[in-house]
Amino acid sequence: MQVNIPEIVAEVTDAHDRYNKAIDDGDVTALNDFFKHAPQTLRLGPGENLFGYDAIAGFRSTKWAPAERRTLRADVTTYGRDFAVASILFDRPTSPGKIGRQMQTWARFPEGWRIVAAHVSMIDAPKV
């Protein structure tokens, strides 16, 4: 299996960038559409454990509010032509001293690249 085929990295990076723009824009419809519409899809967040697409979409429709954030680092690693992991580190002006971590597992389906698993958490920023 080839790792990081350039054109596949470009495809996933584009999808990941569009997902993060939807976060910044507060575009709930777009955010939900990036997740695979399936009961196996999951998202573990800072204060929630969401199992299944319906739980993810329900969470966003009732509690989602965009928050300003700055990406500190972004990485995309692809495995073959249909599987990838994307992650970012970010910070927020409203959470000084904290670093956010977002990691997603992406898979290619007939409808395009979709997130099948995601994790978001905050930790104390390392002391420099």
Residue 9 — φ and ψ, nearest 5°?
Answer: -55, -45
Boundaries of domain holding 37: 6-123
Percent of the chain at pLDDT exceeding 70: 96
| pLDDT at residue 49, rounded to an integer | 97
Q: Which amino acid is at 20?
A: N
- Order of strands, edge to edge, in the sheet holding 42-44? 49-51, 42-44, 112-124, 98-109, 83-91, 70-79
| pLDDT at residue 65, rounded to an integer | 67
Decide if 83 is inside a domain. Answer: yes
Q: Considering its fold, how many domains does the chain have in total?
A: 1
Percent of the chain at pLDDT exceeding 90: 77
CATH code for position 40: 3.10.450.50
Beta bridge partners of 88: 74, 102
Q: Is the pLDDT of residue 107 over 80?
A: yes
Q: Is the pLDDT of residue 10 over 90?
A: yes
* pTM flag (> 0.85): yes
Decide if 128 is inside a domain. Answer: no
Decide if 1 is inside a domain. Answer: no
| pLDDT at residue 127, rounded to an integer | 77
Question: DSSP label at 37?
Answer: S
- Which residues, 6+ apart, have CB-to-CB distance to 57 below 8 Å? 32, 35
50-105 residue pLDDT tens? 999 999 999 988 766 667 889 999 999 999 999 999 999 999 888 889 999 999 99
58: left (phi over 0), alpha (psi -120 to 50) or beta: alpha
Tokens of 40: 């196996």
| pLDDT at residue 41, rounded to an integer | 98
Tokens of 107: 């898979």
Max CA-CA distance within the chain? 46
